[in-house]
Amino acid sequence: MLLVAYRKHEKDLLRFLRRRLGSAAAAEDIAHDLYLKLYRMPETEPPRDGRSYLFRMAANLATDHMRVEKRRSEIRAEMGHTLRTSEMVVTPERAALARAELAFLEAEASRLPARCRRIFYLSRYEGWSHVRIAEALGVGLTTVHKDLKLAMSTLLAARRRFHGQDPDSVG
């Protein structure tokens, strides 16, 4: 029953989500996530007002999405301190150091749990959205975000250790 209400109000839901999120792409992702939630829900007595129930679910998903995006921005800002922005001339020594660092990071990444490595790979190398990863692996968005956070913090700490920095220092 809720899927019928979803299809009936889909355009209104998308408009609502676009306004709330400020992004058509994010609105599409959240609407798709809502559809999947509804699809997977067991058949029960539908709520009295299906439209308001759908909009409440969409608002909650949008709020969760904004919270995750805020945290993701914070993580990127933290990581930005470790990235070098000045152009560097590639010398044989720097190339060798980069290869050694990459081998070190690959060894550290291999110690992560298999699901965490898979999520990191799909996100960073295949460019999959978090929603797509969650669907493909049959996990929730929170799991995807937690595993990505674990992978990023592990690699950041490993990179700091490689460069002889205190892994707990910020900057």
Q: 115-140, pLDDT tens digit by residue?
A: 999 999 999 888 889 999 999 999 99
106 and 61 belong to one structural domain: no
- Cβ-contact 20, 59 below 8 angstroms: yes
45 and 101 belong to one structural domain: no
- Cβ-contact 110, 154 below 8 angstroms: no
CA distance 123 to 143: 13
Q: 49-96, pLDDT tens digit by residue?
A: 889 999 999 999 999 999 888 888 877 777 666 555 445 567 888 889
- The answer to whether residue 85 sits within a structural domain is no
Query: What is this structure's pTM?
Result: 0.48
- The answer to whether residue 76 sits within a structural domain is no
For the chain, how many helices (H) and strands (E)? 7, 0
- Domain of residue 26 covers 1-65
Count of structural domains within the chain: 2
58 and 4 belong to one structural domain: yes
59 and 94 belong to one structural domain: no
- Least Cα distance to 171 among 77, 69, 52 occurs for 77
60 and 105 belong to one structural domain: no
- The answer to whether residue 83 sits within a structural domain is no
